[in-house]
Structure 1
Amino acid sequence: MNKNVITIFEHDTLTINQQGLSQHHFNALVKFNDLHNGKYFTVGHNKIKFKSYVGVLQVGNKVIEILPKADNNPSTNIQTISKWQAALLSMLQQAGYIKLNETEKASQNTGNRNLLDIYLHTFLKEVEFLAHVGLVKKYRYQSANKKVLKGRLLIHRHIQQNAVNKEKFYTEHQVYDSNNRFNGILKKALQIVCQSTANTSLKQTSSQLLLHFESIDMWSGTLTELENLIFDRKSASYQYAIALAKLIIQNFCPDFSSGIHNIIAIMFDMNKLFESYIYKCFKKRENDPSLPKFKVSRQNSKVFWGDKTISPDIIVSYQTADEKHLSFIVDTKWKIVDEDQPSDNDLKQMYVYNFQFNVLKSILFYPKVNQHNMGVKNYELSDLAQTAQHGCELYFADLFDENNKLSDRFAIEFLAKNVS
C-alpha cells in the first residue's frame, strides 16, 4: 500500500498521526476547509470529520482519498476499499463526470492510479484534443500605440502617449484571435495541474500543453463568472473541458508561505452524484424493448409559495395499457435507513410533491442494506384536501452484483415494477 495515500470513508474521522497525517497536513486542510466555508469536513481538536463529499484531496505529496460507503460492514480491509473505489469511479463515469477508455479502466482496476490522477488525466486529454483541432478564436478589442492608424483613435491616451512622438497613434481596434476567457480558463487550470500534481507524467503533459497557450492571458475572474459562463456555437466543444477545469480551479488552495503544501482537490457531493447516477441509469432504459414506453426527466421546478420553488430529483412519466398518462416522482437519498423508518422531513417533502406535481405516488430511493421493499403506503387524507388517495414508497435498490461490482440491473427491476 502506498504510504503517501490515506484512504478513508465519508463521515469518518481522521486524526493527526493517523495514516501519516502530519500537523502541517492538518493545518493546510483546515485552511482549505475555511476557504470553502466548512463545506467538506468539520474540524475538531487535532482531527477532522468528513461530511458527505467524496473524492480526493492532495496536500503536498500526501493524497487523501475519501470513498463513499453505504453498508453496515465496519470492515475497512483492502476488499472493502477496492469495492468502493471501483464503485465511485463507475458512478462518476456513468453519471458523466469523467470519461474513461478501456485502458484507463484497466489502469484503475490494477490500482495504478488514484482518482485525482484519473480526473486530471481526463482534463489534459480534453485540452489536448482542443489544442489539436485548434483553440477557439473570438473577436476582442485591443488598445495599442502604433505607427498605423487602425480602428478608433483614443484621443486622451493618444495625447498622453504621443505629445512628443507624432508618428504614432493610440487606437482601439478589433482583433480575432485565441486570447479569450475560454482559453484563459483552461490555461489557469493547466497551470494549477503543472504546479500541484505529484504525478511526473501529468506534470510533463500539462507543461507541454501550456506551450499552446503562451499568447493567451491567464484567466483571473471570479468564481461567479466561472459559474455563469455562456457557451455559443463556436465554444460548445469546450463545455466538458471547462466543466473539468472549473472543479480544478474552485478546489485549488495554494500554500503561499512555502509552496510545499498546495492543496488540489476533486470533491463531489455524494447525494448529487447518487441522484445523477440513478437518473442516467433510468434514462438509458427509455428505449428498452422489454419495458413499456416511458420518459425520465429531472429537476422540474414548480412555484409553491411566493417565489419559492420545489424540484423533485426525477419524474418518470408513462402511459398505461388503457392509455392513461401517469407520472411518479423519485427522490434519491444516499443514506441508510430502516425499511419502515424514513425521516419525517422526507415524508412531508414527498407529500408536497404529490400535490404540487399531481401524482399519486412518490418514491424515496435508497441504496439497499439488507432492507426489504414494502410497497406504497398511503397518506391520510385531510378534511380540506379530499382528493384521490396518494402515497409514498420506500424503495431499496441493490447497487452491486454477486461479484461486488456496481451494477445497474436494479433499474430494470425498478422500472418493470413501477411503469405498468
Structure 2
Amino acid sequence: MAEIKENIVVFEHETLRFDKGEKKITKDQFEALERYYGNGKPFYKLVYNGVQFNEHVGVIQVGNTLIEVLPKADKIPHSKEEDKKWRNLLIGMLRTVGSFDIKSTSNSNLKIKPNTILDLYFELFIKEIEYLFHNGLVKKYRKKEENITTLKGSLQFSKHIQQNLIHKERFYVRHSTYDVEHTLHFIIYKALRLLKKINSNNDLHSRIGVLLLNFPEMPDIKVSDSTFEKLIYNRKNKHYQIAIEIAKLLLLKYHPDVTKGKNHVLALMFDMNLLWEQFIYASLKKNTTDFIKVKAQSSKFFWKPQNGRRTAIKPDIYIETYDGNIVLDTKWKNLNGFNPSPDDLRQMYVYHEYYDANKVALVYPGDNKNSKAGVYLKKDGKHDNKICSVVLINVEDQVLKWQEEIRRIIKQFISTK
C-alpha cells in the first residue's frame, strides 16, 4: 500500500513550483510531471520551475504526494473549510453526472466517506469486484495447447514429435477449455494489483487484499485503448462493464516512472466546463415536470461544402417549454462583471436562429443578483426580438441544494417576460 506523505490542495489555474511558494513540489516531482506532460496531457502547462493548472480538476498522485486540484467559482482564499466545501461539491457533481458513464445504483451506498476522488473511484471499483464475486465469475471457452497424458482435442503432430520423442505416454494437443481465464479477468486482476500498489486509504487496504487472495491469478497483459475497444459485451458479461470502465480509467491514466522508479504518476482529471454542463443538464432533467423536454447536445447541420461532410452546431442544453424553445450554453468561469466574449454571443445568435428559440442564455456560476438580460441589435442599432441573457447561478454548500437552486433560477429565467 502506498503511503501518502503529503497532500497538496490547489484550486484550478493555480501554479505549483519547486523553488518558491507556500505550497511546493520537489524537483523530482516536477520532472515526473514534465515527463507526463510530454505524453500530451492537457491538465496543466509547464512554467518556469513548475506547472500551472488549467480548467481540469481532480487528483494527480506523484509518487507519495497527492495533488488535489479543486474547482473555484469565487475569490474566497484557501482555508480548510473552503477546501472541504469544494472537494465535497466536486465529488457530488461527479456522482450526479455518473462521470465516464460509470453509473451504478450501488455507488450511493459506499462504505467509506471519500476524502479524495481517488478514494471514490477506488471504492467504486472494489464494490463492483465484490459484486462480481458474489454473482460468480463468468467463464468462457478458449483454445489451449498443452502436453498431457490423455489424448483430447486435436494432436499437434510436429510439436508432439518434438517434445515427446522419449515420453511416449504424453500427447501434445490443442483443445477447448471452459474457465475464467479471459481478457475481462486479465484487466481486472491487473487493476487490482495496481490498486494494491497505489492505494493509501487504510479502510480499503484489507478489502483489496481479500480480493487479490480470492481472485484467480491471471497472466500480466499490456493494456491500451485498443484492448478495451476489442471487448464485446453480451447478456452474460454486461454486469462487468462498470468494473471494466473504472479499470480502464485507472490503468490508462497510470504513468510509471521508468527513470527513477519512485515518482509514478496517476492522474484522474476532469474538464470543469464539461462537468458543469453535465451537472446543469442532470439537475434540470431531474425534475422534468417544469418542461416538455430537456435535451443535451442536440445537433443541427448548418453548412455543407460542395464535397465533403456537413458541419453541425450543438448547443449544450435545449429545452422545450409550453411557451417556446430555450437554448442554454454553459460556461465554467467567473465573469467578474465583464460581458461575455463576442464569440460566445455570436454563437448564441446562431442558436437563436436555428432552434427557433424564444430566448437563449449563457449560464455561469456566480451571484444571481448580477444576472442580466440582453438583446441583439439590428444593423440600424435598433433592438431585435432575439433575447440573449447572462444567467448566474449561486453556488450552494450542498449538491442537492445547488441542484434545487439551478432549477429555480432557470425556471425563473424561462418564465420572465
TM-score by length of 2: 0.83
User: For the structure 1 residues 405 and 298, does the alpha-carbon distance in structure 2 shift closer, same or farther, using more than 3 Å as the test?
Assistant: closer
* Alignment correspondent of 1:70: 73
- Counting only pairs closer than 5 Å after superposition, residues 323-338 of structure 1 correspond to structure 2 as 326-338=324-336
- 2:139 paired residue among 121, 137, 140: 137
Give 2:28's aligned residue.
Answer: 24
1:342-366 Cα deviation digits (max 9, x unpaired)? 1122223323334444444332211
Distance in 2, matches of 1:129 and 1:196, equals 22
Mapping for residues 2-401 of structure 1, pairs under 5 Å? 4-16=6-18, 18=21, 19-35=23-39, 37-73=40-76, 75-97=77-99, 99-101=107-109, 104=112, 107-108=113-114, 113-152=115-154, 154=156, 157=159, 161=163, 168-226=170-228, 229-286=231-288, 288=289, 291=290, 293-303=291-301, 304-305=303-304, 306-307=308-309, 308-320=311-323, 326-338=324-336, 341-369=339-367, 372-378=370-376, 380=378, 390-400=386-396
CA separation in 1, counterparts of 2:251 and 2:298?
30
Q: Is the deviation greater in 296-305 or in 82-91? A: 296-305
Distance in 1, matches of 2:326 and 2:215, equals 49
User: Following the alignment from structure 1 to structure 2, what is the Cα–Cα distance between the partners of residues 315 and 238?
Assistant: 33
Q: Hey, what's the Cα distance between the residues in 1 that align with 2:51 and 2:328?
A: 33
Query: How many angstroms apart in 2 are the aligned matches of 1:163 and 1:298?
Result: 68
Structure 2 counterpart of 1:239, one-letter code = Q
Task: Give per-residue Cα distances to partners, 1:287-339, cap 9 Å, x unaligned.
Answer: x4xx3x4222223334444434433222222344xxxxx43322221111255
148-157 or 248-257, larger mean C-alpha shift: 148-157
Q: Which of 400, 409, 416 matches 1:414?
A: 409
Letter in 2 for 1:417: Q
Q: Is the Cα–Cα contact under 8 Å of residues 178 and 216 in structure 1 kept in the other structure?
A: no
CA shift at 1:161, angstroms?
A: 4.8
Judged with a 3 Å threshold, the aligned counterparts in structure 2 of structure 1 residues 359 and 136 are, in CA distance, closer, same or farther, namely: farther
Distance 2:116 2:96 in 1: 18
**Number of matched pairs:** 396
Counterparts in 2 of 1:145 and 1:40: CA distance versus 1, 3 Å: same
Deviations 1:141-171 (A, max 9, x none): 3333444444455566556555665655544
Are the aligned partners of 1:148 and 1:169 in contact in 2 as well (CA < 8 Å)? Answer: yes
Are 1:9 and 1:67, in contact at CA under 8 Å, matched by a contact in 2?
yes
**1:45 to 1:379, Cα distance in 2 relative to 1, 3 A:** same
For the 8 Å contact 2:223–2:251, the answer to whether it is kept is no
Residue deviations 1:13-49 (CA, integer Å, cap 9, x gap): 01115435211222222222223x1411111221110
Cα distance in 1 for partners of 2:363, 2:59 equals 26
**Which residues of structure 1 form unaligned runs of 5+?**
321-325, 383-387
Alpha-carbon displacement from aligned partner over 1:274-299 (angstroms, at most 9, x marks no partner): 1221111111112x4xx3x4222223
Give 1:128's aligned amino acid: E
In the alignment, the residues of structure 1 paired with residue 171 and residue 378 of structure 2 have an alpha-carbon distance, to the nearest angstrom, of 80
Structure 1 counterpart of 2:53, which letter?
Answer: F
Question: Residue 397 of structure 1: CA displacement?
Answer: 1.1
Structure 1 residue 6: Cα displacement: 0.7
What SS is found at the alignment partner of 1:300?
Answer: coil
Seq. identity, %: 34
Q: Say which SS state the counterpart of residue 258 (structure 2) adopts.
A: coil
**Against the structure 1 CA distance between its residues 379 and 160, is the aligned structure 2 distance closer, same or farther, given a 3 Å change threshold?**
farther
SS of match in other structure, 2:361:
strand
Q: What RMSD, in angstroms, separates the aligned Cα atoms of the two structures?
A: 3.1
Structure 2 unmatched ranges of 5 or more:
none
SS in 1 for 2:328: strand
Change beyond 3 A, Cα 1:313–1:232: farther
Find the aligned partners of 2:165 and 2:133 in 1 and give their Cα distance: 43
Which residue does the alignment assign to 1:385?
none
Please report how far the alpha carbon of residue 230 of structure 1 lies from its aligned counterpart in structure 2 after TM superposition. Answer: 4.0
In the alignment, the residues of structure 2 paired with residue 94 and residue 295 of structure 1 have an alpha-carbon distance, to the nearest angstrom, of: 20
SS of 1:407's partner is: helix
TM-score if structure 1 supplies the norm length? 0.82
Question: Relative to structure 1, is the Cα distance of residues 121 and 372 closer, same or farther in structure 2, using a 3 angstrom cutoff?
Answer: same
Correspondence for 1:323: none
Match of 1:135, SS state, is coil
The secondary structure found in structure 2 opposite 1:141 is strand
For the Cα contact (< 8 Å) 1:87–1:405, is it kept in 2? Answer: no
